[in-house]
A and B are shown apart, each in its own frame.
Chain A
Amino acid sequence: MNIKLVCGSETLLDSWPGEIPPTVEQLLNTVKKTHPQAAANWCDEKGRLRASLAVFINGEHIRYRQGLRTELKEADEVYVIALIAGG
């Protein structure tokens, strides 16, 4: 499926294998395994996705959908913010 996951300036996944669309959580957990370094800041000490992780679908924060349980669809672009601090 044509589903992308971008974090900062890096595209971590440009298509989703399989025909059943994943939830945001499934997508993130998959990419966490393939790109552990990029995803290092996504999880707490116990390896769970942080509730505060800033994730967007086509530019909209997932809080305005069903959060991590949001089901993705064809052509969705998921964007994860790597870091908000500083300046």
Chain B
Amino acid sequence: MANGFMGKLLNVDLAGGRLTEEPLDETLCRDYVGGYGLGARLLYERIPKGADPLGPQNVLGILTGPLTGTAAIIGSRFVAVAKSPKTGGWGDANCGGHFGPHLKFAGFDGVLFSGISAKPVYLFIDEGRAQLLDAADLWGLGVTALEDLLVQRHGKGTQVCSIGPAGERLALSACIMNDKERAAGRSGLGAVMGSKRLKCIVVKGKMAVPVHDAQQMKELRKKYLKQATGAFEVFNRYGTAGITHDAILSGDAPVKNWGGAGATDFPSQRGRRISDEAVVSLEGYKSYGCWHCPIACGGRVTQTGGRFPLTLNDGVGHKPEYETLAMFGPNLLNDDLASIVKLNEICNNLGMDTITVGATIAYALECCENGLLSRQQTDGLDLRWGNAEAIVALAEKIGRREGFGDLLADGVWAAWKRLGRIGTEYAVHIQGEEIPAHDPKFTPGLASTYWLTATPGRHTQGGELVAGPGVAVPDVDKYAYSGRAEGHHILVAAVEVVNAAGLCLFGYLSYPFKAVLEQLAAATGEAWDMGRILTAGTRIYTMRHAFNLREGLNPLARNMPGRIVGEPPLREGNVKEITVDYRMLAREFLERLNWDPRTTVPEAETLEQHGMEFLADDLRHANVAPA
């Protein structure tokens, strides 16, 4: 058995109710690290080309990495993988909390769900024993009540990942939730889980994760905990809420659906109302962390009065984080922090991705502003920028697929199509995935990341925004579009490995990168250096991409919303007059990877170099139109 792993996967055939254990392939673990690396490799073979993402042939995987549930800093993550109903291509979403480690403590590195159950069910794993149970009484519950009920039913130590009503109703804005507020948010995977009539996965267990050198793991933890650097201080004090004001000021955050500028549309004093000190000054604020996390970026707050009282958990909710603050804040010209706390509660409980919901509401607001939608069409809601009451009401309707909310529940792209393709400029997405709150006009390298990566519009896939301390990349002028490919490649590879290993990106941003190498070596017993990071990370990146190529999807054929790359450029603010040459960034990156510059199919020698010759035939016959 490979070190760092429990050594087995659980296959669940939901149509037949059959559960079968499968030994983990050690070679795949070595080559693809774990998590979504392993997931992409396995699902490439198990999901047939052309499968309906919401049909029985799609496979939903919940997978951990070799460092999940170990002493590593910070091994709290798991990943959900499947074909995405949002993009029609590869889908994955990464999440922290306590569920991932406890899946391993219950005895499995991952679970792969195929088929569709005839009735709502849930999977219960207790110390290695797995069974499918009836979920008739759970179907329809919000995430909060569901977790409370299951902990009561299955006892102390129970951990749950689940979908809310949005996932049950196959909303493509749906995510997979755990710890009541942690979301595997992107790619619409909550809808995949809902399509399988799988309400939740419940795990319990105390099994130890076998590692190569447990003593060394402990010593590394002790050593590196003293070396906190980079983002640690901000994340420790505020969580990601600590960057909100600065992101608005700098031009990194979207303002008015990416069409506005902080300086003129959402000036500094408004940004301060929904950022750092304002957030941690909320009533009852108390920070908390994911499993064994020294950063503890999460927080709970109490909101029992005012215009937006929280209605669950006796009025105790979760501190909104940066993406939520930005997408419901400057993106909607809304500086009412209480409303954003409420929106966070709604999205968490109904199980929705706050990036998707924020972007889709912004689209609706702009359509209303420009007379493309009437008040009659919006169920009487007065959808104006910054109208917090209407925004909160609309989010609730989206999660429940009620009235106008039903039209928006599948995200921007679907809404645009359903509404007769109105307001094309306001529908900000790439291939159906809404853009997270980091603007390529502020960090140009993100443009090609958003455009090319297997899960488009993803800020956690190694664009230049995410450089861990000690990850050396060539020093290139920020707005030089040529000469960035090497740096992009290093950062992509580093992040692919960090994600696949089950580590949290905030640990990567807060501790020296050497910690990742040494922890991987101590856990697996294998040698890890930057050379291997580059090789393994490139292999994972290629595997995720190959899933899309086989579907005939060429990232160069994806749309690019003009607003996020400055086509036309903004005339105000701190990213004014900037147009990002994303095509040059992409061209040089493809050249660096030795992928075809028009089809993006990797050259045969590149596949061979990464031990991926098995893809050659499929990709040769893939119907990828040159762009």
Which residues of A approach B to under 8 Å, CB–CB?
8-9, 40-41, 44-45, 51-52, 54, 56, 59-61, 64, 79, 81-87
- Give CA–CA (A48, B124) in the complex, Å: 55
Which of B72-80, B130-138, B320-328 lies at the binding interface? B320-328
B250 touches A86 (CB 8 A): no
In this assembly, does B304 line the interface, its C-beta being within 8 Å of a C-beta of chain A? no
B250 touches A81 (CB 8 A): yes
In this assembly, does B475 line the interface, its C-beta being within 8 Å of a C-beta of chain A? yes
| Closest Cβ neighbor of A60 among chain B residues | B574
Distance in Å: Cβ of B251 to nearest Cβ of chain A: 8
- Taken residue by residue from 237 to 260, chain B's Cβ proximity to chain A (1 for < 8 Å, 0 otherwise) reads as 000101100110111100000000
B243 touches A85 (CB 8 A): yes
- Give CA–CA (A40, B322) in the complex, Å: 23
B243 touches A84 (CB 8 A): yes
B276 touches A86 (CB 8 A): no
B242 touches A8 (CB 8 A): yes
- Give CA–CA (A82, B249) in the complex, Å: 12
B235 touches A84 (CB 8 A): no
Which of B6-14, B101-109, B226-234, B600-608 lies at the binding interface? B226-234
Q: Is the contact region of chain A dominated by helix, strand, or loop, or is it mixed?
A: loop
Distance in Å: Cβ of B547 to nearest Cβ of chain A: 27
**Interface CB pairs A-B, < 8 A, 28:** A8-B234, A8-B242, A9-B277, A41-B230, A45-B472, A51-B475, A51-B477, A51-B478, A52-B478, A56-B574, A59-B268, A59-B574, A61-B250, A61-B251, A81-B246, A81-B249, A82-B246, A83-B231, A83-B234, A83-B243, A84-B438, A84-B443, A84-B465, A86-B505, A87-B243, A87-B323, A87-B326, A87-B438
Chain A residues near B443 (CB-CB < 8 A): 84
Which of A51, A61, A64, A85 contacts B466, CB < 8 Å? A85
Known: A82-B246, A83-B231, A85-B509. A8 touches B276 (CB 8 A): yes
- Give CA–CA (A45, B465) in the complex, Å: 18
B249 touches A86 (CB 8 A): no
- Give CA–CA (A61, B235) in the complex, Å: 24
- Give CA–CA (A54, B465) in the complex, Å: 13
A54 touches B250 (CB 8 A): yes
- Give CA–CA (A83, B475) in the complex, Å: 18
Distance in Å: Cβ of A22 to nearest Cβ of chain B: 22
| Closest Cβ neighbor of B263 among chain A residues | A59
Q: A54, A79, A84: which has the most chain B beta carbons within 10 Å?
A: A84
A86 touches B235 (CB 8 A): yes
In this assembly, does B437 line the interface, its C-beta being within 8 Å of a C-beta of chain A? yes
- Give CA–CA (A56, B267) in the complex, Å: 14
In this assembly, does B537 line the interface, its C-beta being within 8 Å of a C-beta of chain A? no
A84 touches B509 (CB 8 A): no
Chain B interface size band reads 35 or more
Chain A residues near B438 (CB-CB < 8 A): 84, 87
- Give CA–CA (A20, B249) in the complex, Å: 29
In this assembly, does B506 line the interface, its C-beta being within 8 Å of a C-beta of chain A? yes
B231 touches A87 (CB 8 A): no
B242 touches A83 (CB 8 A): yes
Distance in Å: Cβ of A40 to nearest Cβ of chain B: 7
Chain A residues near B472 (CB-CB < 8 A): 45
Distance in Å: Cβ of A56 to nearest Cβ of chain B: 7
A86 touches B506 (CB 8 A): yes
- Give CA–CA (A9, B276) in the complex, Å: 8
Which residues of B, 527-577, contact A by the 8 Å Cβ criterion?
574, 576
Distance in Å: Cβ of B551 to nearest Cβ of chain A: 30
Chain B residues near A52 (CB-CB < 8 A): 478
B437 touches A61 (CB 8 A): no
In this assembly, does B432 line the interface, its C-beta being within 8 Å of a C-beta of chain A? no
Which of A8, A45, A82, A84 contacts B252, CB < 8 Å? A84
- Give CA–CA (A70, B315) in the complex, Å: 50
Distance in Å: Cβ of A55 to nearest Cβ of chain B: 10
Distance in Å: Cβ of B325 to nearest Cβ of chain A: 8
In this assembly, does B120 line the interface, its C-beta being within 8 Å of a C-beta of chain A? no
> Which 6 pairs across A and B sit closest by C-beta, in order of nearness?
A87-B322, A87-B240, A61-B574, A86-B240, A81-B246, A87-B323
In this assembly, does B436 line the interface, its C-beta being within 8 Å of a C-beta of chain A? yes
Chain B residues near A81 (CB-CB < 8 A): 246, 249-250
| Closest Cβ neighbor of A52 among chain B residues | B478
